[in-house]
Amino acid sequence: MSRIKEFNLPDLGEGLTEGEILAWLVKVGDVIELNQPIVEVETAKAAVEIPAKWAGQVQAIFHPEGTTVEVGTPIIAIDTDPGAGPIEESTTGAPASALPTPSAASLAAVEVAPTEGAVEPGLIGGPAPGGRTAVLVGYGPRTTAAKRRPRKGGLPAQASAAPVQAAPAPVAPAPVTPAAPVSPAPGANGNGRAGGLVLAKPPVRKLAKDLGVDLATLTGSGPLGSITREDVQRAASGTPAAAEPLTVTAPATAAASFGADREQRIPVKGVRKLTAENMSRSAFTAPHVTEFLTVDVTRAMKALDRLRERREWRDVRVSPLLLVAKAVLLAVKRHPMVNSTWAGDEIVVKDYVNLGIAAATERGLIVPNIKDAGRLSLRDLADAMTDLVQTAKAGKTSPADMSGGTLTITNVGVFGVDTGTPILPPGESAILAFGAVRDMPWVHKGKVKPRQVTTLGLSFDHRIIDGELGSKFLRDIGDFLADPEAALLAWT
């Protein structure tokens, strides 16, 4: 059994397919322990630390910081028995000093990402905050490929997949003999591969199927003749493919944020990429309806003041959002169809509420959720919301915390905005926008008086929620905020 083990990027949950290597926490030659954090990876949902699957000594690191790597791709090689002495030469005669390299399948599927300009810290696509979340290594990741940023020097695609750090001389890693290049054979398809074998990633195959393109008829322009999305799209549109060398081009020299054309190009990746995909899918899948309600919340604000004065609540963070969350949870009990999902030929109504709270972070918009929030007391709900916000601000929200949401609140009022028309998170049927609480003239008991007023905006999936149900749900939320004590007495 080989001492040298390649560690693949694991599936970090919820079907994530790739991650960007933010920082290596170890270097070649380091002796590491089982479950020791070895690399920090930013997925489309969170920045996470990945622990080592084996104890041993780091022999090679295959991808530098800043590389986007797909799940299942080897990222590091570990000698699991460094005390056994030098690693012997392989039967192929390869020298003992040869570094392990990713498998031939990984090499074949390396895809060069487009050149990216420099992005300043704090901007979407720029450096992420230092928050990290420890996670367990996933099981059974699928074997796919890595997307690499271009390097200087115009190296061939095969060479670009070599380890980025050399092992120290005293410690020689096990050799791996790379697969021989595939040569065109008689009867091969457009990719120079016999027997109808087509080199293409699963997303590319799905795209070809959706567009009705036969991959066997295409000549791939990707590394080692692999077929890319552009090849499929050109074939679907009838545009001939231009010949492209299978090399890695050098990246553009880092420059100021704005070029001579006074434009900045920000790479779309990570949280921003996931948000864009989710919002586009939701906006063009679920027929959205948005209703608005302006509410006098003066009594609710006074109730919060009395709550803060209670001895057992003095160390608890109490905000208007807490009462909004409680109002939503009580309204869901009265109108359970709001907490449901459209599943094609059926509607799935859920007896639990995973309440999402939209949070703006340095990495972009994220929506972590409080699991089974409807079963929590008001005090437990307050603690859960405080923990959720602090974790999000620290950049430590895990993918699991952002998965499985059933209904969401977005607090646009913190930005001084009255309300909005929020887009539904995929799989949810309602989202509430909570606007700013303002002192406004209001007719109270027949007289115009200054009162504390807010505006609520409820967007819902009209396939599930009709106008009557949506209006009653929003009206109940408003009634609770107008007089929380009376609502609690009447509903509970």
276: pLDDT strictly greater than 80: no
> pLDDT tens digit string along 4-20?
889 998 876 655 678 88
Cβ atoms of 423 and 390 within 8 Å: the answer is no
The pLDDT of residue 223 is 58
DSSP state of 263: -
Q: In angstroms, rounded to a whole number, what is the distance separating the alpha carbons of residues 100 and 57? A: 14
335 is catalytic: no
Enumerate residues 6+ apart whose C-beta is below 8 A from 485.
299, 303
State the pLDDT confidence band at 143, using cuts at 50, 70 and 90: very low
The pLDDT of residue 480 is 97
122: pLDDT strictly greater than 60: no
The pLDDT of residue 70 is 86
> pLDDT tens digit string along 351-368?
999 999 998 877 777 889
What tokens does 96 get? 């003992």
Which DSSP string do the residues of 94-138 spell out, in sequence order?
--TTPPP---HHHHHT-EEPPP-----TTSTTSPPPS---B-PPP
Number of neighbours of residue 125 by Cβ within 10 angstroms: 20
What tokens does 54 get? 């084996």
Residue predicted with more confidence, 41 or 451: 451
Residue predicted with more confidence, 79 or 264: 79
The pLDDT of residue 35 is 86
Enumerate residues 6+ apart whose C-beta is below 8 A from 452.
296, 297, 298, 301, 437, 438, 439, 440
Q: In angstroms, rounded to a whole number, what is the distance separating the alpha carbons of residues 338 and 171? A: 61
Q: Indicate the pairing of strand 355-357 with strand 111-112.
A: unpaired
190 three-class SS: coil
Q: In angstroms, rounded to a whole number, what is the distance separating the alpha carbons of residues 409 and 323? A: 12
State the pLDDT confidence band at 177, using cuts at 50, 70 and 90: very low
241: pLDDT strictly greater than 80: no
487: pLDDT strictly greater than 90: yes
> pLDDT tens digit string along 364-402?
778 899 999 999 999 999 999 999 988 888 778 887 888
What are the beta bridge partners of residue 62?
Answer: none
The pLDDT of residue 92 is 38
Q: In angstroms, rounded to a whole number, what is the distance separating the alpha carbons of residues 216 and 31? A: 47
> pLDDT tens digit string along 47-66?
778 888 899 999 999 999 88
Total residue count of the chain as it appears in this document: 492
Q: Could you give the percent of the chain with pLDDT greater than 70?
A: 67
If you average pLDDT over every residue of the chain, what do you get? Answer: 75
Highest-pLDDT range among 39-43, 118-122, 246-250, 283-287 = 39-43
Highest-pLDDT range among 42-56, 277-291, 380-394, 461-475 = 461-475
State the pLDDT confidence band at 228, using cuts at 50, 70 and 90: confident
Highest-pLDDT range among 117-126, 240-249, 424-433 = 424-433
Q: Which pTM value belongs to this model?
A: 0.55
Q: Which of 63, 288, 444, 462 is labelled catalytic?
A: 462
Mean pLDDT value across residues 77-98: 63
**Which of these ranges, 1-10, 123-132, 474-483, has the smallest mean pLDDT?**
123-132
